């Protein structure tokens, strides 16, 4: 078993997967609760307003997850939110997605963009 290292999507620090970190279903990962909160992550709160921890609503002890197979594999409760962070809620986009969109929108390819940047850097 090895250790994987990730880069925090908020502060850019790298951290091992063996320490506490926050992971969204869309693939975003943060090194701490503070970075996740600062980057728009919401803890999993179901549509009925309960914090979901270990598949149980703490206030009512109702099971939030429905077990659909003999191995107790979990499928999302119908009351679970579909997304947890600003990226999967489409409130923000990664720099890569924004660049791809801008290049397509302004009809500029990588080669022309590099030449434009080089020309701008020479003028400074």
Average pLDDT of span 76-84:
56
Write down the pLDDT at residue 56.
47
- pLDDT for 5 equals 94
Residue 59's SS3 state is coil
Least confident residue range of 8-12, 42-46, 119-123: 42-46
pLDDT given at position 77: 52
Helix and strand numbers (H, E) in the chain are: 3, 6
Give the confidence band of 115 by pLDDT, cuts at 50, 70, 90: very high
Q: Which tokens sit at 22?
A: 């926050």
Whole-angstrom Cα distance, residue 18 to residue 115? Answer: 43
- pLDDT for 51: 53
Residue 68, pLDDT > 90, answer no
Q: What is the pLDDT of residues 32-50, one digit of tens each?
A: 989 998 888 876 655 555 5
d(CA 24, CA 39): 11
């Amino acid at each position: 078993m090895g250790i994987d290292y990730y880069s925090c999507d908020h502060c850019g620090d790298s951290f091992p997967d063996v320490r506490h970190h926050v992971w969204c279903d869309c693939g975003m990962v943060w090194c701490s609760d503070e970075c996740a909160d600062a980057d728009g992550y919401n803890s999993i709160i179901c549509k009925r307003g309960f914090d979901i921890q270990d598949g149980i609503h703490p206030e009512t002890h109702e099971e939030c997850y429905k077990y659909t197979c003999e191995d107790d594999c979990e499928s999302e409760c119908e009351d679970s939110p579909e997304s947890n962070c600003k990226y999967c809620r489409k409130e923000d986009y990664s720099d890569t997605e924004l660049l791809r969109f801008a290049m397509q929108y302004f009809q500029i390819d990588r080669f022309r963009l590099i030449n434009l940047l080089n020309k701008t850097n020479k003028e400074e």
